[in-house]
Amino acid sequence: MVNIFPFYKIHLTFVLLNHFAEQSRVKPVVIYNHPSRKNLQTEENRHDIATWFEETNLVIGFSGAPGHQRKRGDNNGSYEKVLYTINGWDPSIAQIGGEWDQLLQQGYRVSAARAASDFHNLRMDYWPCEFSSTHLFSASNRHNDILSALRRGNTWAQHGNFVKNLSFAVHTAEGQGTIGETIVLPNRGGDVEVNIELTLNQQDWQGFATTLDNLELVIIDQDGIESKQLLPLESMPNKSLRISYKHALNSKLTVFRLRGRSVQPEQHHYMFYSNPIYVRIKE
């Protein structure tokens, strides 16, 4: 006999959430926290998100980096079962071509650029925003504006506070889109230009001089998932970087997302991740 009770509980939860959302002027957001912590395989997360998206439009995606980052060993993030974090990020998000990318390839709008402190105590956690931070492009710091930015996916997130500012946009003949936005083009073909502007802090959260040791543009379309290494060989004057990259569209849906790495003297690999930018060809 198949035990359907857990699914029934989830379904009932979403029924109640949907009812609550209908009574609210601003919808709540539901985020899948530490998704792989108790899983036997990462594929479970792709199934979960797809199922929940069918139940409600309140789910926005993953919390890409779990809390409990003060645990620096194999139990980082309190992942102590079968699956473990990769440089502090959940494996469904940290693996190029993993569950996040596969969901994006299937047309789901899934956010994952969130790094939570999930503060419980100082034994396993840093203070909120001391080490983990999520950066939102929000109209203000009011609750409703924050919820709106999360729902749109206008966020990027990092560990180690090595990035000061990030601008990530895709320019097309029809206009531009930035993190979390969708550009709709009237016909197939043509080039788009990906523009990145990034500035590092002078020092990271521990006071070490910052570096940007790796910068990747992940490109997802209906034919495949690839990672482009963008970091130039020259140094970064004034800790700033500006890069343009042209890409020829050959798919009805193309998704761009960005991540970067800073390797510190202690050999910790701090990562930042952006949410995607979507380019769709009008049917």
pLDDT band at 187 (very low <50, low <70, confident <90, very high): confident
Tokens for 85? Answer: 């974090």
Count the domains in the chain. Answer: 1
Taking 60 as the threshold, does the pLDDT of residue 1 lie above it?
Answer: no
pLDDT in the model for residue 154? 98
Percent composition of the chain: helix, strand, coil (DSSP 3-state, to 5):
20, 35, 45
Residue type, position 205, single letter:
W
pLDDT band at 10 (very low <50, low <70, confident <90, very high): low
User: CA 35 to CA 39: how far, in whole Å?
Assistant: 8
Residue type, position 2, single letter:
V
Taking 50 as the threshold, does the pLDDT of residue 261 lie above it?
Answer: yes
Question: Whole-model pTM above 0.75?
Answer: yes
pLDDT in the model for residue 7? 47
- Strands 182-185 and 277-281 come out as parallel
* pLDDT tens string 38-60: 999 889 999 999 999 998 999 99
pLDDT in the model for residue 19? 63
pLDDT in the model for residue 233? 58
Q: What is the mean pLDDT of residues 101-121?
A: 97
pLDDT in the model for residue 16? 64
pLDDT in the model for residue 22? 66
Q: 228 Cβ partners below 8 Å, 6+ apart?
A: 216, 217, 218, 219, 245
Q: What is the mean pLDDT of the chain?
A: 91
Identify which has the larger pLDDT, 283 or 177: 177
Identify which has the larger pLDDT, 178 or 231: 178
**CA distance readout (Å), 145 to 28, 57, 186, 254:** 11, 18, 31, 28
**281 and 249 in contact (C-beta within 8 Å)?**
yes
User: Around Cβ 21, how many Cβ atoms within 10 Å?
Assistant: 17
Identify which has the larger pLDDT, 202 or 27: 202
pLDDT in the model for residue 282? 87
Q: What is the mean pLDDT of residues 123-150?
A: 96
Query: What sign has the CA pseudo-torsion 95, 51, 103, 61?
Result: negative
pLDDT in the model for residue 90? 98
Q: Which residue has the tokens 């991540």?
A: 259
pLDDT in the model for residue 234? 64
The SS3 assignment for 8 reads helix
DSSP label at residue 142: S
H or E stretch including 136? strand 132-136
User: CA 104 to CA 61: how far, in whole Å?
Assistant: 11
User: CA 201 to CA 184: how far, in whole Å?
Assistant: 35
Taking 90 as the threshold, does the pLDDT of residue 86 lie above it?
Answer: yes
Q: Which residue has the tokens 């959430």?
A: 17
pLDDT in the model for residue 236? 82
User: Around Cβ 127, how many Cβ atoms within 10 Å?
Assistant: 10
Question: What domain range is 43 assigned to?
Answer: 5-281
Identify which has the larger pLDDT, 42 or 130: 130
H-only helix segments in 95-137: 99-105
**91 and 34 in contact (C-beta within 8 Å)?**
no
Taking 90 as the threshold, does the pLDDT of residue 157 lie above it?
Answer: yes
